[in-house]
Structure 1
């Protein structure tokens, strides 16, 4: 449903052209956004804020639309906006945007939840296989002149084991489709939305899934209700040798407890694309923890997914300036 936007957002200074501010441009160019927004008279400008909340306040003050990656769009930044009608997150998670304050001011917040599904599910599978088959460790060993030392790090057959998937949105479902060919004897799914599961998947209580799965993959957003949901107690309840894969948000896991469980050998390994704080500090214990495969929050990335993301983010701005509500409106006030 389209909601009439507060009148103060329609104020224009004479012939002032609307401005779309891209915070922390992470892309080679913004011709995609410029082409999509050209019919609405937009100028697209980039502002590097590097996570600095005060810099964001200054960058967005005159913006009619804001496109943002990780930098915080705080209540203060929203209060200072003179013209803004829509804030779009380049990506899925919107925990860096003060959605409630934006709603109070009649400013839409939208995200792009349906890009990179193939990439993230591919990357999850790659991390899973790399941990279970220890390919990163084998690569290092060969380069260091070691040969036939695999049995120092025992591996186990994938077929016949139990998979647990926590979160079953687009990415969780795509990952399940791809991983289902590996021969897991059982797939347990915990999904807060309670959607219909395909053949071969069984709905499970979270703690039951954690206690009975050999491999656990996380596919859900970071919210107050999910922060550190993989807690010290839940890690302790996992079967010895369990492997965890996380391509969602680092804050879902109690990292300190994860490190301890990996170091003690209680857990069999972890494949992580995300960390509680990014990038992790050079002395972060996960960087030297055994049988971890780590990547730099790049599960979402491919050349194709970047273009898709830029296109869909700009289309949300265009919808608002065409008098519609965003397709993926995440701070609804009606």
Structure 2
């Protein structure tokens, strides 16, 4: 599965934005040791780092994907540009809020700066719909070989589900109206929070995911970045196919991708289920462990059967050639 192709051009707005978001992530990470300002116990730059990294990975993946479309390329290109514009605004206001040492999400202040921030967030559903449109366009066309098509279709499904999970962060949290102090010592009214069954502020290092309650951001992250996991898997399978004859059939690689994606989907669903129950991702109970285990075992069994069947087919073909 080639990352590039001579007659394909990556979506330039998404490519440029992805690189810019990578710079934001690196700059935010570099600022943490030198800026001791904190919000809810973590560096003011943690959020801009997380969003910069996520959009760096996702925008580059989407830019690559759009270069592989064979039908309705202009339509896909237009929705990719719409996604890039809204994403740029979101990362921009989050980074600006970090620099100012104040809250971005759930901030109910009536100052002019926060009104700009919240206005930018109002377009997030449009960004989600743009991603869904691209996913639908991909469903009705074959892109590359079967393995590449499976990577793109399943990857977009997982990422769309991951984005959709973000809309439940507010509804399942139930934290309601409250006041918190920002990095400047200013009391800021907040209208929601991330934690489920637990107030924000007890998060893991860098991710901020709650260690004492549920957190839908875990499922959001897992789903959103499923496409990068599958792209990496597709590249690995292509590399292994050079030495493994039974992997050279794109139907075999596609089946491995589909089984892996199904297992990944199970992990995503279990993480969301944990969050809804107010259970920390780091403290799964027996039911959660069983669900995670089932997802992994189903995927592993499917892959094992696929590989065994493919190897038998290749062995049979080799024996036939020897008899000739």
By percentage of residues, which structure has more strand? 1
TM range (shorter): under 0.3
TM-score, normalised by the number of residues in structure 1: 0.23
| Higher RCO (Cα < 8 Å, 6 or more apart) | 1
TM-score, normalising length: structure 2: 0.23
